[in-house]
Each structure stands twice: as C-alpha cells, then as structure tokens.
Amino acid sequence: MNTTFLTSIAKTGAAKGVESLAKLLKVPVKVAKPANAQLMNLDEVITRLGQTDYGHGLALFLEVTGELEGKVLITFTQEDIARICRLIPRVPKEAGPEHPLVRSALLEMCNILASSFMSAIAEYTDLDYLANPPEMTIDMLDAVFISVLTSICQTSGPVVYFDTELIIDVERFYGKILYFPSPGAIKKMLSRGGK
C-alpha cells in the first residue's frame, strides 16, 4: 500500500485524536512525534508484538461494519493507564481503572482514538463504516494479543498498524492502534487511492 497514503491517514487520525482528547481531558494534548502507519501481514504483527513483554494493560476492541468492515484494537500499558487516570477530570484522583466512572472515561477515550483513526481512513478512501459499542478489558496484554490475533486470523488480511505517541498535559504516552480490515475492506481501500 502507498506509504504516503498511509502516513497521511496516520497524521490526520492523530490530529483528530489530539483535538478530541484535549476536549475530553481538558488539558493540552499534542502529537509527540510524526504519526506513522504501516501495512503488515499477520506474521509481521505477531513478530512485532512478540518482541516485548507488555505485562498488564488496557485493551479496547471495536468491531466496525460497513465498507470498512473489520476490527480495531487499541492498547495502553498499565503504567500509562495509571498516569492517564490521574488526568481524567471530575473523578476521584486516587481512583484506578477499576472505578466505574474512570473505566467509562477510559472507554470513551479509547473510543475517541479509534474513531479518529477510522474517520481518517473513511475520509481518505471515501468509504463508510459503522462502529459497534466497544469492549474494554484490563488484562495481560500478551494474552489479549494472542486472543485477538487468533480470533481474526481466519477473516483478516493485512493489518494497518498505527504508532502513536502523544503528550497529554506534560507526559508522554505511547499507544498501539491496530486495524484489521476484512479482505473485502482492504480491497476497497486499495482501489480508493491506497495502491
């Protein structure tokens, strides 16, 4: 897939995400380094994800239907989540991700990030999508990756891998955003400028 095309999507998605997160968290948010996206096959994704022991973390899983049918996975490490929890307005400062209100805010935050990148893909390809209610889990990220990759390996083609590093208030956060388009969706993306 055209690298410029993917980079443009990544930059637009990151810009949208930054704007929305700033509104949600009511603190300055900016992109720490130029956003990047790569198209990988599943083996490459497995290799990439297998290079690090992630420990516990937060994973949001979102199914999308429509022309961009597929699945989106967003992950943050436990350490990042603990720092993000302290930035969420109007929740007790000592509350962790198990607090219902904090959990709801984290879900919304990840949903915003997923929507930002998906809407950037939709804009650049002129293809539509409908997002289903997301699911969030706090678990061992390695187990989450295995479970997700196993569930999609029969139905997904290449994977769009976004690297995102954001500065929220004054702290750096690194999140992984993976979009697993269905084979039909990737074909449509390629035909709409992604070649």
Partner 1 sequence: MKKILVVDDASYMRMMLKEILEDNGYEVIGEAANGAEAVKKYQELMPDVVTMDITMPEMDGIEAVKKILSMFPEAIIIMCSAMGQKNLVMKSLEAGARDFVVKPFEAERIIQTLESVFS
Instruction: Mark 120-159 with x for binding to partner 1 (rule: CB under 8 A) and - for no binding.
Output: --x-----xxxxxx--------------------------
Q: Quick check: 35 and 147 in contact, CB under 8 A?
A: no
> Cα separation of 34 and 31, whole Å?
7
**CA distances for 66 relative to 71, 89, 103, 112, 187, angstroms:** 12, 34, 28, 19, 13
> Would you say 59 and 74 are in contact if contact means Cβ atoms under 8 Å apart?
yes
Per-residue mark of binding to partner 1, 38-77 (x: CB under 8 A) = ----------------------------x-----------
Task: Tell the smallest beta-carbon distance from residue 87 to partner 1 (Å).
Answer: 13
Nearer to partner 1, 44 or 108 (CB): 108
Contact (CB, 8 A) for 124 and 186: no
Interface positions with partner 1 (CB under 8 A): 16, 20, 23-24, 66, 88-91, 100-102, 104-105, 107-108, 111-112, 115-116, 118-119, 122, 128-133
